[in-house]
Structure 1
Amino acid sequence: MNPSLKAIALLSTALLTACTSTEDKVKDLLQRHMDAFVFVEGGSFMMGNPGLGWALGADAYPAHKVTLDSFSIQKYEVTQGDMDLFMEVTGYTSNYELYKQTRDMAPDRFSKELPAVVTWDDAMAFCNWIGISTKKTIGLPTEAQWEYAARSRGKMYRFATDTGEAVADINMAPASKLDLINPKSLPHPPGHFPANPLGLYDMSGNAIEWVSDNYQPDFYLYSPEYNPKGPAKGKEHDPAQTNIHPQKVLRGGRFYDFWGNTTVSRMSGPKNLLGLDTGFRCMKKD
Structure 2
Amino acid sequence: MLSSNGLNGSGLILVSLMMVACAGSKGSDRQGESAESTVQRAIRNQVFVEGGSFRLGDVGHPNGSPYIVLTDHARPAVEVSVDSYSISKYETTWGEMHVYYEKLGRFPLYEGSLYDEKFIAEPSQDPLSPYFYLKPARTPNYHEAEGYCAWLGDQTGLPFALPTEAQWEFAARSRGSNVPFATNTGVADNDTYLQRPRQYIDPSIPPSGNMLSHSSLVMERRPVGSYPPNPIGLHDMSGNVAEWTQDWFQKDYYQYAPLNNPKGPLKPIDPDSPEKTVRDWAGHGDHVGGNATVFARSGVPVSAGGNGFRCVVNHPKPINR
Q: How do 1:72-83 residues align onto structure 2 when only pairs under 5 Å count?
A: 72-83=86-97
Structure 2 residue identity aligned to 1:172: M
Matched-pair contact (CA < 8 Å) for 1:210–1:248:
yes
1:91 and 2:105 matched: yes
Q: Partner of 1:123 in structure 2?
A: 145
Q: 1:55 aligns with which of 64, 68, 84?
A: 68
Q: Partner of 1:270 in structure 2?
A: 301
Q: 1:210 aligns with which of 223, 231, 244?
A: 244
1:148 and 2:170 matched: yes
Structure 2: give runs of 5+ residues left out of the alignment: 1-29, 124-128, 192-208, 316-321
Q: 2:223 aligns with which of 159, 169, 189?
A: 189
Structure 2 residue identity aligned to 1:78: T
Matched-pair contact (CA < 8 Å) for 1:176–1:257:
yes
Structure 2 residue identity aligned to 1:248: K
**Distance in 2 between the 1:285 and 1:178 partners?**
31
More helix by share: 1
**Distance in 1 between the 2:300 and 2:89 partners?**
24
Q: Partner of 2:4 in structure 1?
A: none
Give CA-to-partner distance per residue, 1:170-209, whole Å, 9 cap, x none: 1122x53444xxx4x5121110110000100000111000
Q: 1:26 aligns with which of 19, 27, 35?
A: 35
Matched-pair contact (CA < 8 Å) for 1:94–1:122:
no
Structure 2 residue identity aligned to 1:281: R
Q: Partner of 1:113 in structure 2?
A: 134
**Distance in 2 between the 1:78 and 1:59 partners?**
27
Q: Partner of 2:214 in structure 1?
A: 176
1:46 and 2:55 matched: yes
1:100 and 2:116 matched: yes
Give CA-to-partner distance per residue, 1:132-169, whole Å, 9 cap, x none: 10110101000000000000000101100001111123
- Please report the RMSD computed on the Cα atoms of aligned residues, expressed in angstroms: 2.6
Q: Partner of 1:221 in structure 2?
A: 255
Question: What is the Cα deviation at residue 81 of structure 1?
Answer: 1.0
Matched-pair contact (CA < 8 Å) for 1:148–1:154:
yes
Regions of 4+ moved over 6 Å? 21-24, 94-97, 104-107
Of all paired residues, the percent bearing the same amino acid is 40
Q: Partner of 1:16 in structure 2?
A: none
Q: Partner of 1:68 in structure 2?
A: 82
Q: Partner of 1:252 in structure 2?
A: 280
Structure 2 residue identity aligned to 1:28: S
Give CA-to-partner distance per residue, 1:57-78, whole Å, 9 cap, x none: 2111110011111000000000
Distance change (3 Å), C-alpha of 1:192 and 1:149: same
**Distance in 2 between the 1:99 and 1:186 partners?**
16
**Distance in 2 between the 1:95 and 1:266 partners?**
30
Give CA-to-partner distance per residue, 1:72-107, whole Å, 9 cap, x none: 000000001110111112212497764214359999
Question: What is the Cα deviation at residue 260 of structure 1?
Answer: 2.7
* TM-score of the aligned structures, taking structure 2 as reference length: 0.73
Q: Partner of 1:10 in structure 2?
A: none
What is the DSSP-based 3-state SS (H/G/I as helix, E as strand, rest coil) of the residue aligned with 1:50?
Answer: coil
Question: What is the Cα deviation at residue 24 of structure 1?
Answer: 6.5
